[in-house]
A and B are shown apart, each in its own frame.
Chain A
């Protein structure tokens, strides 16, 4: 299940984000998951819940922002309705995925922990 691999990659990113703030703990991770990123959101949540303790992020919560897929013509910029063939009816150009193809860690919210 590649969602587990992706969750570990998420925590690697969080490790880097939190490194300049050694007196802080991660409380909320906001991740954007594109419709065509190849990630099943509920499996990602399950993997997150299962892995966070072993990575030392016991108290971290996950917030997911879904992003719909959006195709645009690479030549003229026209948008494509869902389910339409991906060749432009205006200029015969081919479509390019404009949005919804990635999984992105947007931000990490930290809480300063009293020493």
Chain B
């Protein structure tokens, strides 16, 4: 007779588990989060398509800050360290995470990267730590990296429908940065209003900033958002508790 329900099959056992397949990653991410919070580091998971402007956003932010905040970064790509090298030239201590065939960062990869002596010291002493994820609007959204907030960079050149096509990514966003807005005059059928309307269907609450790393438009708004987030964290307020829909730039 079955040990569980008394049915006639003595050989069957049903084990209830009810555990997320991401529980191991989430546990590692919690440790990272505790580490970042204890060190007073604002960690941001920066996601977006390849070429959306993730690296350019960090570069432009470093330039705008002019050293006022201490920055550090890891840049993930399937191959090369080009993005990390670029950020290092911009004055941001950076390391590359070459993921090989992995299309996303996970908490274990970040943990291993932080074993690098110089990077670990830079991150511990930083005010803002950018986790620049693999360019991909699908997989990175799933993995918690211990970040304080998710920043999703969406370029105007990707059209207006990406939020609807990739709802898993955009629902996780604490801030959507609409990049390359200087190109809007050349993009027929693309408007900030249409993108924002589509975002509202998949993303309940988040900041929304229009900017251009090329012209500098909106960069100060992003810096202000960073400052507000740092102040909020010091008061125990998370990114998710501060719904904002500030729109700057052309509509």
Smallest beta-carbon distance B115→chain A, Å: 21
Q: Which residues of A contact B205 (CB under 8 A)?
A: 86-87, 94
Query: Looking across the interface, which residue of chain A has its beta carbon closest to that of B11?
Result: A112
Known: A107-B16, A112-B11. A2 touches B21 (CB 8 A): no
CB of A99 closer than 8 Å to a CB of B: no
CB of A65 closer than 8 Å to a CB of B: no
CB of B20 closer than 8 Å to a CB of A: yes
Cβ of B13 and Cβ of A109 under 8 Å apart? yes
Query: Looking across the interface, which residue of chain B has its beta carbon closest to that of A83?
Result: B201
Distance in angstroms between the alpha carbons of A69 and B20 in the assembled complex: 16
Known: A38-B138, A38-B141, A86-B204. A105 touches B102 (CB 8 A): no
Distance in angstroms between the alpha carbons of A64 and B243 in the assembled complex: 35
Cβ of B168 and Cβ of A36 under 8 Å apart? yes
Q: Which residues of B contact A85 (CB under 8 A)?
A: 197, 200-201
CB of B88 closer than 8 Å to a CB of A: no
CB of B17 closer than 8 Å to a CB of A: yes
Chain A contributes a number of interface residues (CB within 8 A of B) equal to 41
Cβ of B17 and Cβ of A17 under 8 Å apart? yes
CB of A108 closer than 8 Å to a CB of B: yes
CB of B81 closer than 8 Å to a CB of A: no
CB of B18 closer than 8 Å to a CB of A: yes
Query: Looking across the interface, which residue of chain B has its beta carbon closest to that of A104?
Result: B20
Cβ of B139 and Cβ of A38 under 8 Å apart? yes
Distance in angstroms between the alpha carbons of A111 and B138 in the assembled complex: 37
Known: A109-B13, A112-B11. A1 touches B103 (CB 8 A): yes
Query: Looking across the interface, which residue of chain B has its beta carbon closest to that of A109?
Result: B14
Smallest beta-carbon distance A91→chain B, Å: 13
CB of B19 closer than 8 Å to a CB of A: yes
Residue in contact with A87 in the complex, picked from B102, B103, B200, CB distance below 8 Å? B200
Q: Which residues of B contact A74 (CB under 8 A)?
A: 204
Cβ of B18 and Cβ of A106 under 8 Å apart? yes
Query: Looking across the interface, which residue of chain B has its beta carbon closest to that of A73?
Result: B204
CB of A63 closer than 8 Å to a CB of B: no
Distance in angstroms between the alpha carbons of A20 and B22 in the assembled complex: 22
Cβ of A104 and Cβ of B168 under 8 Å apart? no
Query: Looking across the interface, which residue of chain A has its beta carbon closest to that of B23?
Result: A13
Smallest beta-carbon distance B187→chain A, Å: 24
Q: Which residues of A contact B200 (CB under 8 A)?
A: 85-87
CB of B7 closer than 8 Å to a CB of A: no
Which residues 65-115 in A have Cβ within 8 Å of B in the complex?
71, 74, 83-87, 94-97, 101-112
Query: Looking across the interface, which residue of chain B has its beta carbon closest to that of A74?
Result: B204
Q: Which residues of A contact B20 (CB under 8 A)?
A: 102-105
Distance in angstroms between the alpha carbons of A105 and B19 in the assembled complex: 5
Q: Which residues of B contact A53 (CB under 8 A)?
A: none
Query: Looking across the interface, which residue of chain A has its beta carbon closest to that of B138?
Result: A38
CB of B221 closer than 8 Å to a CB of A: no
Q: Which residues of A contact B141 (CB under 8 A)?
A: 38
CB of A24 closer than 8 Å to a CB of B: yes
Q: Which residues of A contact B63 (CB under 8 A)?
A: none
CB of B38 closer than 8 Å to a CB of A: no
Cβ of B19 and Cβ of A104 under 8 Å apart? yes
Listed by A's residue number, 12 A-B pairs whose Cβ atoms lie within 8 Å are A2-B102, A6-B21, A6-B22, A12-B24, A24-B13, A38-B142, A85-B201, A87-B200, A104-B18, A106-B18, A107-B17, A110-B14
Residues of B within 8 A of A (CB): 10-25, 102-104, 106, 138-139, 141-143, 167-169, 171, 197, 200-205, 243
